[in-house]
């Protein structure tokens, strides 16, 4: 049951070129900083990254984009990354923009073992091109497939050696959904404790979903946009 690995480098050891990765976080909050750095160092390439956003130029998934390691981004918001924009406009990067609720629900469906979902979001728009539309009770719904990710990489506030996770504040967004959805789930945590020390009532992700866990280091926790009074 002990799922602890020594650090990010060991956690991502078998991530190979061309794989599909889910990366948790919302903006720059709750992103797996250590694992992203390890992937940059590993120089793995042609990745498909599923994430709420693409980070910024020099942080988060933006670090992978800088090194041309990402072949395709599947995201709901990408507005803070100039390098992402440059690669998209030049044809270097494939991009699938989808509604944020659809992104979350496709993660959830993968975690629940459902092959697809039906959603009204995107019906009658470019999002629906080439996709099945079905009518239920007089209303059209778009079929979207559950994600099929090789790895889910998440970041939690606290975790134990069995892989149980607690997320804090805004980090409790895509992280719990993605933790359920990967074939292999890697969790980096700010504080790692022995099994039995976490209150079961506070656990957001049960350890059955987590395959590898480690205590991260040197979290920058950068603020995406800071506004202060003059």
Cα 102 → chain centroid: 14
Which DSSP letter does residue 225 get? Answer: S
CATH of the domain at 158: 3.40.1080.10
Give the pLDDT confidence of 167-191 residue by residue, as tens digits.
999 889 899 999 999 999 999 999 9
Number of domains in the chain: 1
Residue 8 has pLDDT above 80, yes or no: yes
Which DSSP letter does residue 15 get? Answer: -
Tell me, yes or no, whether 229 lies in a domain: no
Per the structure block, which two tokens stand in for 171?
């980090």
Tell me the C-alpha to C-alpha distance, in Å, between residue 77 and each of 45, 50, 100, 122, 192. 22, 11, 8, 15, 31
Domain range for 178 is 8-102+147-215
Tell me, yes or no, whether 40 lies in a domain: yes
Give the pLDDT confidence of 10-69 residue by residue, as tens digits.
999 999 999 999 999 998 899 999 999 999 999 999 999 999 988 888 899 999 999 999
pTM: predicted TM-score of the whole model, two decimal places: 0.93
């Amino acid at each position: 049951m002990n799922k602890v690995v020594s650090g990010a480098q060991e956690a991502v050891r078998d991530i190979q070129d061309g794989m599909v990765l889910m990366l948790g976080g919302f903006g720059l909050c709750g992103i797996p900083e250590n694992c992203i750095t390890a992937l940059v160092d590993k120089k793995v390439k042609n990745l498909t990254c599923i994430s709420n956003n693409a980070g910024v130029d020099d942080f988060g998934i933006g670090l992978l984009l800088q090194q041309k390691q990402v072949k395709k981004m599947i995201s709901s918001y990408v507005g803070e990354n100039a390098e992402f924009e440059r690669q998209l406009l030049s044809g270097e990067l494939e991009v699938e923009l989808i509604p944020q609720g659809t992104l979350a629900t496709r993660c959830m469906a993968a975690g629940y073992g459902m092959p697809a979902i039906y959603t009204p979001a995107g019906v009658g728009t470019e999002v629906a091109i080439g996709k099945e539309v079905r009518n239920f009770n007089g209303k059209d719904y778009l079929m979207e497939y559950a994600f099929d990710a090789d790895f889910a990489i998440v970041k939690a506030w606290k975790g134990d050696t069995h892989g149980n996770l607690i997320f804090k504040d805004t980090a409790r967004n895509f992280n719990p959904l993605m933790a359920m959805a990967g074939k292999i789930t890697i969790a980096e945590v700010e504080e790692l404790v022995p099994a039995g020390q976490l209150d079961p009532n506070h656990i957001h992700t049960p350890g059955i979903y987590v395959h590898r866990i480690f205590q991260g280091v040197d979290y920058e926790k950068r603020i995406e946009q800071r506004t202060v009074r003059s």
